[in-house]
Chains A and B, each alone.
Chain A
Amino acid sequence: MTGEAVTAAQEPISQPQRTDRYVGQYADRAVGMVASEIRALFAVAARPEIVSLAGGSPYVAALPLDAVGDMVGKLVAEHGATALQYCTAQGDTGLRERICEVMALEQIRAHPDEIVVTVGSQQALDLLTRIFVNPGDVVLAEAPSYVGALGAFAAYQAHVVHVAMDDDGLIPEALDEAIARAAARGRRAKFLYTVPNFHNPAGVTLAPGRRHRILDSCRRAGLLVIEDNPYGLLGFDGEPMRALRADDADAVVYLGTFSKTFAAGIRVGWAAAPAAIRDKLVLAAESAVLCHSSFAQLTVREYLATQPWREQIKTFRELYRERRDATLDALAAVMPPGCRWTRPAGGFYVWLTLPDGIDAKVMLPRALSSRVAYVPGTGFYADGSGGGNARLCYSLPDPDRIAEGVRRLAAVIETEIEMRDDFGPLGPAAGSLP
């Protein structure tokens, strides 16, 4: 055996080494930006061997890609000097006119001046939080709530208070209670963030009868409503729901996106806001990105002007309806007793409630070993709850793969139930939805 240590070619380093020389210089809001096990696990979920019910990606392969390609080529050939140039921070006027036509499908009567184009609706969330929220300010959000919104709120150190939902969406009495509780503590919430249609992650829709009550409550409390509506045109039954903003344009900022109705990779969304808020959004957008991609905006404008986009939305709806049905059928066929789930009437998501005492986060590595992925419910709560839930997304895999994925997941849950029975119920309580 050779026992001699390799001779150091330089003086031993007596000072501690850190692999980040800027430790100690980061802002407080960067404290939570660390490597996590859960992110590591999602790296596995992206592999084709895994049936991923995690993602949240739209099925863009259903687009007429050749036609879109021709359209983009023509755009550059004929309008390249504009498409490849800077534009205003508020966004292309022609696109904003088209956006008003899209919003009209949800009975919003808007003027292009009310619109600010953003990089997906995620940037609108970031800008709105930037202009409204100081560290520690209260933001009301559904329980559970969209993970991207929670990320934006966390980045500005908001204090998120979750408001319970049921099968009919946000519960008005719970909202009133949350507003009153904040007021009793001498704090006024800055806004209510809500996804009223085909909720991400819960899959439920705010019932028509509750919409006025929610608006009334917020109006009384002087609370701004942020209506995030990425899935509103992807309902499986009947006409699109009437938007909250259609009933109170002064109290509601509406967020829309072309990520689900056209192409997520284009990254074009928008905010429709009261004038004063719009002005601040434009200034905030200027400081964030100077202006948005002219190329992306004009691509969407041309798509809306030259392609049968309403027909394409119908194609998407049918495709997602088929996948929703495959998911619900598979869940009904194989899920063990004690599991419950929502039945979405549109959008991408089913919210699964696991049997008592089972933790979706602890179960995830075992699910990945069985080659199926989901998102644990904890990602959709700012307070760490939701461990008893999982979000299943059916938008991307084909129906056979969905059925296979649900079968694999059911087997994993069976094993977890057995371990729970062996070790006792250790998992957290599930969220409030059925």
Chain B
Amino acid sequence: MTDLDRVVVLAGGLSPEREVSLRSGERVRDALAEAGVDAVLAEADSALLSNLRAAPPSAVFPAIHGASGEDGAIREVLGLLGVPYVGSVPSACQMAFDKPTAKALTAAAGLVTPASVTLPRETFHDLGASAVIDLIVAKLGLPLYVKPSRGGSALGAGPVHTAAELPAAVLSCFGYGDTALIERFVSGTEVAVGVVDLGGGPRPLPAVEIVPASGGYDYSARYTPGKTEFYVPARLPGPVAAEAARVALTAHTVLGLRDVSRTDLIVDPAGTVHFLEVNVAPGMTDTSTLPLALEASGHQFGATCVALLELAAARGG
């Protein structure tokens, strides 16, 4: 039995990840309901504050992806209201959500992360896009990977194999945000490592190896059931798997994250683990990696959500 009276699962939002967030939120709500918890799904809209005031929940489970959900804004407001919530505090969210900041902090802690540049749209405008692009290619080489500095689900992100492809990739990226992170592309095994803290300190979950049926792990490959194969645990040699776990745990700790996170990594052919990014509101959909890792390590999904909410409720707002 749980002491939770009633919980609110926040999902939706206005970012391009709205649909994914709704799927995550519905899955969390259903799992909680199955575990006997009175859980309701709520939007972060103009009705939220009055509803939370009128009927304060035991805790909130934020499942909003993208801006406002992962940048700390909603959590900041929950803090102002004194409503307990699962997950990281706003300042940690801000550092994790901003990929260049997360890369810089994890690199300072000794992790390996692909060489990159971060440039706002204005820089291309002010200095001349063509000259800046030439400089990027000269410095980082090819292939590259372009993504918005803030955001997820591979929206606006993609590989660049030739210099001629780079302007279009940057333009696509700017559709989702005004700052582009342009990384040296590292080929290898794509791996996601979840970290959960159920009260005994943060623990890495088994690494999930991601093998898209064709092409990259883009939006379609992420959210079309069957378009990607997952190996849990990842088919990595023992020492490499341990290193992947260490990298995820280091990222979680260095960024000051709380309760749950998911770190995305690439393991190159030499076995070096490269940190790409970390997510403070990992996807919980039926095609997401964190639930797979939980199940593979013997954690029931619903029971884990309940445990995280109980910890949050005990912590208070």
Q: Mark A11-46, 1 if CB is under 8 A from B, else 0.
A: 011101111111100000000001111011101100
Do A19 and B20 touch across chains, with their CB atoms under 8 A apart?
no
Do A36 and B20 touch across chains, with their CB atoms under 8 A apart?
no
Do A1 and B172 touch across chains, with their CB atoms under 8 A apart?
no
Of the residues A40, A362, A371, contact of B16 by C-beta under 8 Å: A40
Q: A8-B297, A19-B226, A19-B286 are in contact. Are A44 and B14 (CB under 8 A)?
A: yes
Q: A20-B226, A423-B167 are in contact. Are A3 and B246 (CB under 8 A)?
A: yes
Q: Which chain B residues lie closer than 8 Å to A36 at the CB level?
A: 219-220
Q: A2-B249, A6-B204 are in contact. Are A423 and B171 (CB under 8 A)?
A: yes
- CB of B222 closer than 8 Å to a CB of A: yes
Q: How large is the interface on A (under 10, 10 to 19, 20 to 34, 35 or more residues)?
A: 35 or more
Q: How many residue-residue contacts, CB under 8 A, span A and B? A: 153
Do A35 and B230 touch across chains, with their CB atoms under 8 A apart?
no
Do A18 and B245 touch across chains, with their CB atoms under 8 A apart?
no
- Give the CA-CA distance A49 to B19 in the complex, in Å: 16
Interface of B is mostly: mixed
Q: Which chain B residues lie closer than 8 Å to A364 at the CB level?
A: 175
Q: Which chain A residues lie closer than 8 Å to B224 at the CB level?
A: 20, 34-35
Do B156 and A43 touch across chains, with their CB atoms under 8 A apart?
no
Q: Which chain A residues lie closer than 8 Å to B153 at the CB level?
A: 40
Q: A18-B226, A40-B18, A419-B121 are in contact. Are A4 and B220 (CB under 8 A)?
A: no
Q: Which chain A residues lie closer than 8 Å to B128 at the CB level?
A: 422
Interface of A is mostly: loop
- CB of A336 closer than 8 Å to a CB of B: no
Do B19 and A40 touch across chains, with their CB atoms under 8 A apart?
yes
Q: A16-B231, A423-B170 are in contact. Are A4 and B203 (CB under 8 A)?
A: yes
- CB of B79 closer than 8 Å to a CB of A: no
- CB of A368 closer than 8 Å to a CB of B: yes
Do A44 and B18 touch across chains, with their CB atoms under 8 A apart?
yes
- CB of B206 closer than 8 Å to a CB of A: yes
- CB of A411 closer than 8 Å to a CB of B: no
- Give the CA-CA distance A36 to B297 in the complex, in Å: 31
Q: Which chain A residues lie closer than 8 Å to B223 at the CB level?
A: 35, 40
Which of B's residues lie within 8 Å of A, judged by CB?
A: 12, 14-20, 22, 45, 121, 124-125, 128-130, 153, 155-156, 167-168, 170-172, 174-176, 196, 200-206, 211, 213, 219-220, 222-233, 241-242, 245-246, 249-250, 253, 286-287, 292, 296-299
Which of A's residues lie within 8 Å of B, judged by CB?
A: 1-10, 12-14, 16-23, 34-37, 39-41, 43-44, 47, 49-50, 362-366, 368, 371, 418-419, 422-424, 426
